[in-house]
Structure 1
Amino acid sequence: MIAATEAEADAVAPAFDPEGPAPGATPERILRDFITAGSGAGDGYSVARQFLTPELAQSWEPEERIVLFRSDPRVEKREAEGVYQIQLETTGTIDARGVRTNSPVPATETLGVRMAQVNGEWRIGEIPDGIMLAQSSARDLLLSHSLYFYSSNYRYWVPDARWFVRRTGVTARIVGAMLAGPAPYLQGSVTSAFPEGVTLARDSVPITSGTASVELSSEVLENATSLGLQQMNQQLQVNLLGLNDVTSVEMTSGQPIELGDPSPDLVVPELAPDVGGEQVAIAGNELVRVRNGAVVPIEGLPSVAESQPRDPATSVSGSAYAFLNAARTSLFVTAPGSQARAVAKGSALTQPSFDPDNWVWTTRAVGGRSEALAIPPGGTEANAAKLAAGWLGDRKVKELRISRDGSRALMVTDRDGVGEVLVAGITRSTEGVPQSLTTPLSLPTDGTIDTAKWAGQSAIVASSTGANEEATPVILQLNGEQETMAALDGVLGISAGSDAEDTFYAQAGDTLYRRIGNSWVDEQLAVVDPAFPG
């Protein structure tokens, strides 16, 4: 039997062989070389531990916190004997669960250190747990991997981006992180099939002929049903398949766990909901479809011209539409064969967004603050869910987009003139009624951001807007990575479908541009406010 983690580490991890402490090295040299030694994860970071006093070497937790930095670290001696500090220009941090938080630019961090003499040599006696990695080498040292949890209705997989050090045992750490639950911003908005308290019974996940054997603690069998066990197995599979060539998963707890006959209630969740290649847009003051490079009318849809429509949206099924009036003070819904009806009013309404159950979402300004509004199918403002997230504070919401799994809300907000891209979880009642927005994940950006859209499950496209300005759209990954696109003049809006490669568009002036590679191609379509379903 081969340990999957060892095989994977050999296959994907580059060999880093840092040197131990040099005889007679100064405290400054010890600290600099200790930072470098953090790149060597082999044998439990044995080389890095040589720079620590014997007592600290025993208790030091290298992966409790990873600080990513650019530029050379600065090491300075302080007034007190043996006290030093390390100053870093940071790009982000990764916590013990693998959750990455990007730093706003610029950002610095100072770590306090106390040095001590051990047999005549300087060693580190006190330093915070964790390692420091140069951003330039982090991609080689770290593995980005999405954990997956169920949406609250078990119909979709919801990604939870994490980072792990490439070393022996990474597969077991991925499973352990999944068992520990979702990242803070997803807590309450997604669910795990595994009961709270279930852990790995051993710190390795061996594989034989492509089958990963996951040994779980005995709590996994408490009050377990066949459906529950099958959901657990399904969740393990989506988290591990393809990792180190895993092709199947076996759960054990002392002995192999029998899953029983497939439950009739077992749902196979969608991993990447497809919203198709059509967009809804405005042309000639009417709602239209953009399909295969052409503008076509929507069959059976009554005229909405008298409402002066802007910012349209459509459900994934294409059976329902929503839009705002030109003043952004009224929200309308309509469908083929049905006259448009106003379902909500307010100030500074944002472009509507449909969730998978056809709730229509928008935000509005209320008393100097913003609130999210979710209107049920067939409903109005009278029976809408009103979500006034306390963390919004005095932020002005410029955009709200619901993910295609219905579990997350993408928001662009303005606080003191600075645009922010935020992703919050959506908590719902057992009946699926939206209840609250969780404290969000922030995706820092270098430039001005006025608009953002989902491009699949884990990517977001974002851009500044302005008729007389040059925009440089960016692709933001939930794992913290970014890709800058070619600049485009006069961007007024953007739209994205199921990915950022083939279905990323920008409205500039009175025409629509499509992203092809790193270029923009004029589709020569006279439409405004294009939007993919959702």
Structure 2
Amino acid sequence: MPGAERGRAVPGTSTMTRNRPGRRPGGPGVPARVLAALLALCFLLVAGCSAIPTQGPVGVIPAAEGEPDAVAPAFDPQGPASGATPERILRDFITAGTGAGDGYSVARQYLTPELEKTWKPEERIVLFRSDPRVEKREAEGVYQIQLETTGTVDGRGLRTNSAVPATETLGVRMVQVNGEWRIGEIPDGIMLAQSSAQDLLISHDLYFYSSNYRFWVPDARWFVRRTGVTARIVGAMLAGPAPYLQGSVTSAFPEGVTLARDSVPITSGRASVELSSEVLENATDLGLQQMNQQLQVNLLGLNDVTSVEMTSGRPIELGATSADLVVPELTPDVGGEQVGIAGGELVRVRNGAVVPIEGLPSVAGLQPRDPAASVSGSAYAFVNADRTTLYVTAPGSQARSVGKGSALTQPSFDPENWVWTTRAVAGRREVIAIPPGGTEANASVLAAGWLGDRTVEELRVSRDGSRALVVTERGGTSEVLLAGIIRSTEGVPQSLTTPLTLPTDGTVDTAKWAGQSTIVASSTGADEEATPVILQLDGEQETMAALDGVLGISAGSDAEDTFYAQAGSTLYRRIGNSWVDEQLQVLDPAFPG
């Protein structure tokens, strides 16, 4: 790479602040692009058949190390000790939660016979650090467990991480059974030390359709690593998306469809998914084929699954391939070219060089800043220097004003070429989206009451067009938020859902998409040292080497090969754990989107 040859490296180390115990579909060593090719091939093969194959030799697929269906690593908790005190019973019960085998049979030994039958161990998982405190209360048999928590995982696999450690207190009632202390009342769920959770929990992306069925949208979940987790993943998918995605993504499965049994047998690599009868109600060939696609994208590569069959009492016939069946994109590629500003003009940045955009009229007189490019490269947008006017331009077309306001944020193109920005209105922020060829007169002003008095630093639409990444500041505290985009049946943006908060440490002034499940973020300041961070939607974080004077960041389809930082008037590229000076005099570089 030319820039790397002539540049200088800023060394540093990468720190994983949360261990990444699980894997995404495709497993370790299987890149997303390989999985996408496998999915496309499988969809084509299935589309050519009238029904999913149901014949084949019966075999047992051993779970490889790290596979989601593998039994959890060597945790061998013991049952209650004879004559143990209530405090000892409670402490040992917490430890017993690491034993997921046989339906948490060891942990159930600490419960009364009545509670043993109703206790739901995975209804809520509390993650903690430091030793739990067990204290006796004044009332007879009443105790409490105090935990310094780092997060929770609910019954749907949704993980919530605490930005800073918090404290949680669980009330417990102890009773004697045959002369031995047992737990008579305790909230459903288990408690896992953070160190144990790194081995016992796995992350897995569920996938739902974008509202136009063109893209797969990931929904990060966490599950206990144990036999039967494949069924839990399918069950979670059938139950629908996370709250922040509801209304912005679509499932091919009708509401009310469930697994007909609590397992998904895998025979010679084929996962057999037995569904409740509702799956066939008013089902069309297109709908069934879309359901099959969704099952495949959620299961292929998981525990060596190579094909999927849907059944409901018998194999489900898919029918002839529908002309309307679309194979959605799993990992939208935005290419390796950026738009930036050099000499007051919009320019292309690619392969270590800055070149003019062919056919683009001069925009220097408009003092352009913060440019954006459509994925097709056919349109560009930018704001003026004082961020009061939004412009759109294209090769062969003069720039035209499409919106005005105060403190406009960097524009962002969605896949349908709507141009998004935010502006300050009467002390509050408003989100606007300009349609292709349109102006402020026919813009969509999105409902997002949750913005309240937050100051919006940045808004970036995901490459699937279903989610908005929003960086805000309120009361001196930075927030990185992820909201779903709800559209009309015609695709017009209407509102943003109540967002998911991504925990971050320190100040964040800017954030960008780096693929479907990855976000890069950083503080900015000409005279400050910044430490950019890579955020995964499942809560994982990776801290990059520090860099002085960061003014902005940009990222392409991943954070490994296409992660850049502008420091001063030059561009640095991430190479491994270091920053390499590309020695390119360019401002505000941005990948398409």
> Normalization by structure 2: what TM-score?
0.89
Alignment match, 1:85: 144
Alignment match, 1:228: 287
Instruction: Please give the alpha-carbon distance, in whole angstroms, between the structure 1 residues aligned to 2:113 and 2:270.
Output: 41
1:217 aligns with 2:260: no
- What letter corresponds to residue 75 of structure 1 in structure 2? V
- Judge conservation of contact 2:456–2:473 (CA < 8 Å) in 1: yes
- Judge conservation of contact 1:4–1:205 (CA < 8 Å) in 2: no
Instruction: Please give the alpha-carbon distance, in whole angstroms, between the structure 2 residues aligned to 1:327 and 1:388.
Output: 26
- Judge conservation of contact 1:3–1:204 (CA < 8 Å) in 2: no
Q: Considering only aligned residues, what root-mean-square deviation do their CA atoms show, in Å?
A: 1.3
Alpha-carbon distance, 1:36 to partner: 0.8
Alignment match, 2:330: 271
- Judge conservation of contact 1:5–1:171 (CA < 8 Å) in 2: no
Alignment match, 2:391: 332
Residue 312 of structure 2, aligned match among 239, 249, 253:
253
Paired residue secondary structure (2:232): helix
Instruction: Please give the alpha-carbon distance, in whole angstroms, between the structure 2 residues aligned to 1:428 and 1:420.
Output: 25
- What letter corresponds to residue 235 of structure 2 in structure 1? G
- Judge conservation of contact 2:554–2:591 (CA < 8 Å) in 1: yes
Instruction: Please give the alpha-carbon distance, in whole angstroms, between the structure 2 residues aligned to 1:128 and 1:13.
Output: 23
Alignment match, 1:448: 507
Q: Relative to structure 2, which stretch is displaced further, 228-237 or 29-38?
A: 29-38
1:291 aligns with 2:368: no
Alignment match, 2:451: 392
Structure 1 runs (4+) greater than 2 angstroms displaced: 1-13
Q: Which runs of 5+ in 2 are unaligned?
A: 1-57
Map Cα deviations across residues 223-277 of structure 1 (whole Å, 9 max, x no partner): 1110000000000000000001111111111110110111111000000000000
1:53 aligns with 2:112: yes
1:238 aligns with 2:297: yes
Instruction: Please give the alpha-carbon distance, in whole angstroms, between the structure 2 residues aligned to 1:462 and 1:315.
Output: 22
Instruction: Please give the alpha-carbon distance, in whole angstroms, between the structure 2 residues aligned to 1:6 and 1:519.
Output: 37
Map Cα deviations across residues 411-449 of structure 1 (whole Å, 9 max, x no partner): 001111100000000000010000110011100111111
Instruction: Please give the alpha-carbon distance, in whole angstroms, between the structure 2 residues aligned to 1:156 and 1:315.
Output: 17
Map Cα deviations across residues 90-136 of structure 1 (whole Å, 9 max, x no partner): 11111100011111203111111111111222111111100011111
Residue 475 of structure 1, aligned match among 518, 534, 538:
534
Instruction: Please give the alpha-carbon distance, in whole angstroms, between the structure 2 residues aligned to 1:10 and 1:344.
Output: 52
Matches within 5 A, 1:72-471: 72-471=131-530
Paired residue secondary structure (1:254): coil
- Judge conservation of contact 1:281–1:312 (CA < 8 Å) in 2: yes
- Judge conservation of contact 2:408–2:421 (CA < 8 Å) in 1: yes
Map Cα deviations across residues 350-395 of structure 1 (whole Å, 9 max, x no partner): 0000000000000111111111100000000110000131111111
Q: Relative to structure 2, which stretch is displaced further, 292-301 or 7-16?
A: 7-16
Alpha-carbon distance, 1:4 to partner: 6.6
1:504 aligns with 2:578: no
Paired residue secondary structure (2:145): strand
- Judge conservation of contact 2:208–2:249 (CA < 8 Å) in 1: yes
Instruction: Please give the alpha-carbon distance, in whole angstroms, between the structure 1 residues aligned to 2:254 and 2:366.
Output: 51
Q: Which runs of 5+ in 1 are unaligned?
A: none
Instruction: Please give the alpha-carbon distance, in whole angstroms, between the structure 2 residues aligned to 1:2 and 1:464.
Output: 53
Q: Relative to structure 2, which stretch is displaced further, 68-77 or 322-331?
A: 68-77
Quick one: structure 1 residues 300 and 287, their matched pair in 2 at CA, closer, same or farther if it must change by over 3 Å?
same
1:530 aligns with 2:589: yes
Q: Relative to structure 2, which stretch is displaced further, 4-13 or 198-207?
A: 4-13
- What letter corresponds to residue 509 of structure 1 in structure 2? G
Map Cα deviations across residues 123-172 of structure 1 (whole Å, 9 max, x no partner): 11111100011111212101110000000000000000000111111001
- What letter corresponds to residue 162 of structure 2 in structure 1? S
Residue 90 of structure 2, aligned match among 17, 20, 31:
31
Paired residue secondary structure (1:89): strand
Paired residue secondary structure (1:364): strand
Paired residue secondary structure (1:230): helix
